[in-house]
Structure 1
Amino acid sequence: MFQRFTIFMQAYKLRNFSEVANTLFISQPTVSVQLKKLEEELHVTLFIRQGPKEVIPTEEADYLYRQLLNLRDEWDHVLEQLQHIKEKKEVCVIACSNTCATNYMPRIYRDLQDAFPNIIFELKQMNSDDVMKQMEQHEAHIGLIEKPLMHETFRRFPIFEDELVLAGKKDAKQWLMREAESGIYYYNQRFLEEQNVYLPILKVNSNALIVELLKQGEGLTILSKDSLVPDIPYDEHYTYHRLFYCVTRTHPATSQINDLNAYIEQKYALKK
């Protein structure tokens, strides 16, 4: 059964039986046979075949995949208890949105490392939507985001308030705009509409690159005050405030991750 679940989870992610076979070092017919047997045992259809190789998951497959992710975490916890893993090092992946990664994570990382010496931390930087995807796919244990996103199996609490300012030279001839998925996009769009600003838009998918452009006098934008360097002018008459959030899983993979989640919430959650 474990083998069939493993094959199913790979098939769900890859949508291609040949790629599943290559990934698991088994034959493509074995993949098809094992998935067919799993469907027979569960009395459901898991995939709709699109040609000889490609497949589309059904609604039943969506449900099964989510449940298996949780079961995999619970199984990891069982192995931890049996083998006393908590006395050894374990990995915790923290996925951070771009501004959280550069402006906030460095402030708390040393404290987390000192408080949990048996955890090896891995930090990933991406936009908030991708952080949530990493959490949903169980590729990250903790998420730091700059948008109030939520999921039914997550816990979310605010950990930091960020001040956004109008940055750049007032006579700039273009507006620097992050991609729509970025947490900062909404505030830039809101400012343009509220102030009736009509400048050519330069799309930039990196805060670091925006900062470099601002240093050269290229453009205006709404950006976190903490992202600015001393030689970038800004106007505090136009400010917005937003919250950064920590997202944790309601059923952590291990007891150490559970303790870490509780520590972060107790020490860093903003008081209401």
Structure 2
Amino acid sequence: MNLAEIETFLMIVETKNITKTAETLFVSQPTVSHRLKLLEEELGVSLLIRKKGYKQVELTTYGEEFVPIAERWLYLWQETQSLKEKQEKYYLTVGCTDTLNSAMMYDLYREMLDEADRMTNLRIKTHYSSEIYHYLEKHEIDIGFVHHYLHYKNILAEPLLSEEMYIIQSEQPEIEKEEIHTDELNKEREIYLSWETDYQIWHNQWITKGERPRMQVDTFELLFHLLSGKGMWAIAPSTVVERIQKLKQIHVSKIANEIRPPRRVTYKVTHKHMSEATLKAVQMLDKRMELYLKKKGWKTDK
């Protein structure tokens, strides 16, 4: 059976008349009869009762039973055609640290959400860097962005972004200078985020000197809200600085220490063994990310 035969049969069911069916489909009456005959021969049953002297036709018992089958056949054919016309859709689960989601990735997510074609479905999960490696290895996420390079047998880690660190103070800064040495600042007023291992070592050598930071946080939101009191300060990478500057007034200074803190490196992590669909989705995000970083003017590590 084919589309023409099914459409012809369903039109006969609707009009109950061969002539009207031919007129509606813009074909001849013999064509309608021929299509119906081929359909009946393939099914091996009679679908219509044709009475001499009557314009209307009636369905046989088989014909009545075949109506819902023909309707489902036509629906599936239409779905198949629709599938051909649709653009390929991407489904991607992304794992990021809190500050990456809130600062670096935020505008990219907004751009993708506002796209008219809606080709991409994103599921965004927030975890610590070590957790992202774990979930990626178990295929619970498709791609991750982290601050730590860890060795996993099946995980590929690629440097993506390198950022300079800055001192940021509340809108009521203790010191208003373009460059500040950390010794000039009150360490009791610092809001400390542990950006990555090398930074922790630098911070211990130059600021806490073996002591525990008085206020340590692990989310962008806490940093943002706590950086409101007079004299409060923190050290943050450029993406975080730019994001906070969009939301409120802060004072930003370069770090004048003899040894400056190491640049924060963001790594893109993927599994060595991805399905074809996941690989296409990851490649799509790679292209978007490359354009996004270039537009932002952020220094990549490529």
What is the TM-score with the length of structure 2 in the denominator? Answer: 0.51
- Aligned partners of 2:127, 2:221: CA distance in 1, in Å? 13
- Aligned partners of 1:116, 1:257: CA distance in 2, in Å? 19
Q: Secondary structure at the match of 2:188?
A: coil
Query: What letter matches 1:190 in structure 2?
Result: W
- Aligned partners of 1:265, 1:115: CA distance in 2, in Å? 20
Q: Is 1:233 aligned with 2:251?
A: yes
Query: What letter matches 1:201 in structure 2?
Result: R
Give the superposition deviation at 1:109.
3.4
Matched pairs, number? 185
Structure 1 residues 218, 126: CA separation in 2 closer, same or farther (over 3 Å shift)? Answer: farther
Determine the structure 1 residue equivalent to 2:268.
246
Determine the structure 2 residue equivalent to 1:68.
none
Of 133-142 and 192-201, the range deviating more from structure 2: 192-201
Structure 1 residues 87, 149: CA separation in 2 closer, same or farther (over 3 Å shift)? Answer: same
Determine the structure 2 residue equivalent to 1:59.
none
Determine the structure 1 residue equivalent to 2:181.
none
- Aligned partners of 2:104, 2:208: CA distance in 1, in Å? 32
Q: Is the 8 A contact 1:92 1:121 kept in 2?
A: yes
Determine the structure 2 residue equivalent to 1:174.
189
1:257 equivalent among 272, 278, 289: 278
- Aligned partners of 1:122, 1:192: CA distance in 2, in Å? 36
Determine the structure 1 residue equivalent to 2:124.
123
Structure 1 residues 242, 116: CA separation in 2 closer, same or farther (over 3 Å shift)? Answer: farther
Q: Is the 8 A contact 1:177 1:202 kept in 2?
A: yes
Q: Secondary structure at the match of 1:103?
A: helix
Structure 1 residues 106, 202: CA separation in 2 closer, same or farther (over 3 Å shift)? Answer: closer
Q: Is the 8 A contact 1:167 1:223 kept in 2?
A: yes
Unaligned 5+ residue runs, structure 2? 1-83, 175-184, 294-299
Structure 1 residues 131, 196: CA separation in 2 closer, same or farther (over 3 Å shift)? Answer: closer
Identity of aligned residues (%): 18
Deviations 1:78-127 (A, max 9, x none): xxxxxx9x977563110111222122213433666759944411111222
Determine the structure 1 residue equivalent to 2:9.
none
Give the superposition deviation at 1:145.
0.7
Q: Secondary structure at the match of 1:166?
A: strand
Q: Secondary structure at the match of 2:104?
A: helix
2:219 equivalent among 203, 206, 224: 206
What is the TM-score with the length of structure 1 in the denominator? Answer: 0.55
- Aligned partners of 1:223, 1:185: CA distance in 2, in Å? 14
Query: What letter matches 2:109 in structure 1?
Result: Y
Q: Is the 8 A contact 2:168 2:251 kept in 1?
A: yes
Determine the structure 2 residue equivalent to 1:64.
none
Deviations 1:219-265 (A, max 9, x none): 43321233233422232024541221111111113x23212323444
Q: Is 1:93 aligned with 2:93?
A: yes
Superposition RMSD on alpha carbons, in Å? 3.4
Q: Secondary structure at the match of 2:92?
A: strand
Q: Is the 8 A contact 2:237 2:264 kept in 1?
A: no
Determine the structure 2 residue equivalent to 1:14.
none
Instruction: Give the 5 Å matches for 1:1-272.
Output: 89=89, 91-109=91-109, 117-168=118-169, 169=174, 170-171=185-186, 173-178=188-193, 182-184=194-196, 186-195=198-207, 201-217=214-230, 219-228=232-241, 229-230=244-245, 231-238=249-256, 240=261, 241-253=263-275, 255-265=276-286, 268=290, 270=300, 272=302
Unaligned 5+ residue runs, structure 1? 1-83
Structure 1 residues 90, 225: CA separation in 2 closer, same or farther (over 3 Å shift)? Answer: closer
Q: Greater share of strand residues, 1 or 2?
A: 1
Structure 1 residues 115, 146: CA separation in 2 closer, same or farther (over 3 Å shift)? Answer: farther
Q: Secondary structure at the match of 1:245?
A: strand
